[in-house]
Amino acid sequence: MDSVSQANHDPLHLLLVEDVEHDSLLIEAMLHQIRGGPENRVTRARDVAGACREVEAHRFDLVLLDLTLPDSQGTATVRRVARSAAGVPIVVLTGTDDERLGVACIQAGAQDYVPKSELRVPLLGRVIGYALARAREADARRRLEQEVLESSERERQRIAHDLHDDLGQQLTGIGLLGRSLAERLAVRDAPEASEARELTELIRHATQQSMALARGLDPLTEHGAELSSALEALAQRGELMFSIRCDVTRSGEIPSLGSSVSTHLYRIAQEALTNAVKHGRASQVEIALRSLEGGVELVVSDDGDGVANASDEGGGQGMRIMEYRSRVIGATLSVEPGGAARGTRVRCFLPGV
């Protein structure tokens, strides 16, 4: 069975967002013909506010969305529902045949659109089937990407721990033996004493380099899953590398997030800090980790040139990386202007912790 056929046979909970009673009854009758089994359900909302409440309270497989509602019009309707119904496919029902409007709806977050003048049972059935199939394939792709990324992170952590705990300790031990040897040779005024001291210094530099490599591969190597301490270390390195002021604040009782989630949040903060300096020319950055009702929030604020610069090649790539990492851990990411019409504020909210 192909993905479309499978999607057409799975139980369906659909949200119909339509304020016109006649249109709602017609669409529900069509849906009954397409998916008339008792395991299939249709929930109705008459405006965007109601639709957002429904998607926050229930799990839906698909949203059928009218564009013209009492509290929203046009593509703004799609954007509002898409923000609340993250990951749920949206099919727009338009009262016009304007192709440009349909494309704009897809760009705003819809998966497909159907002019109401063309709405028939076979067409609606195909559109729903394809939308569900594409959503299933996208979900499978996201899960695969998450598995690949997590596997990569685990391998990075393994190598970092080997560098830190195995090679680093061996080099430290060799360095101690070298220093002891250099001291004994110096007591005897042996000519090899200077060479032993030079060897000890080389071992010390190799030890530092292995520790630095371990931190680069896994920033939490020295902190376990303790995100706050890792962010403090990030701020200190940021000040040294970029000659800026970087502060870290923490509020509330931060729950244990686990190594994987902590690593992703750390990387988001690291990317935001780098973007602020390299693309926003910031001189001051603040990293805030907060425990809020319903989740944990990471905020990186700067006094740079603002969000406009995030659209350049480097900043745009950095934004995509942060957005991807936030999706992997089930968080939401937003970028907004900073205070006093200057700077950028990057917010990452992780719910349910």
- DSSP β-bridge partners for residue 297: 290, 349
Distance CA 283, CA 91 (A): 45
For residue 184, give Cα distances in angstroms to 20, 110, 132, 171, 198: 93, 76, 76, 20, 14
Q: Pick the closest to residue 276 from 229, 228, 241 (CA basis).
A: 241
Distance CA 83, CA 183 (A): 67
What three-state secondary structure class fits 61?
A: coil
Instruction: Kindly report whether the global pTM for this prediction surpasses the value 0.85.
Output: no
- Each of the 353 residues of the chain gets a pLDDT tens digit; together they read 444 444 455 678 999 999 999 888 988 889 888 877 767 889 999 999 999 999 888 899 999 999 889 999 889 999 989 888 878 999 998 887 788 888 898 888 888 988 888 888 998 889 998 988 888 888 888 778 777 777 877 787 778 777 777 787 888 888 888 889 989 998 988 888 889 899 989 988 888 888 778 777 777 766 555 888 889 988 998 998 899 999 999 998 888 888 888 888 998 999 999 989 988 889 999 999 999 888 899 999 999 887 654 444 444 667 888 888 888 888 889 888 876 667 899 999 998 76
Percent composition of the chain: helix, strand, coil (DSSP 3-state, to 5): 60, 20, 25
Burial class (CB in 10 A: 0-12, 13-18, 19+), 42: middle
- Amino acid at residue number 100: R
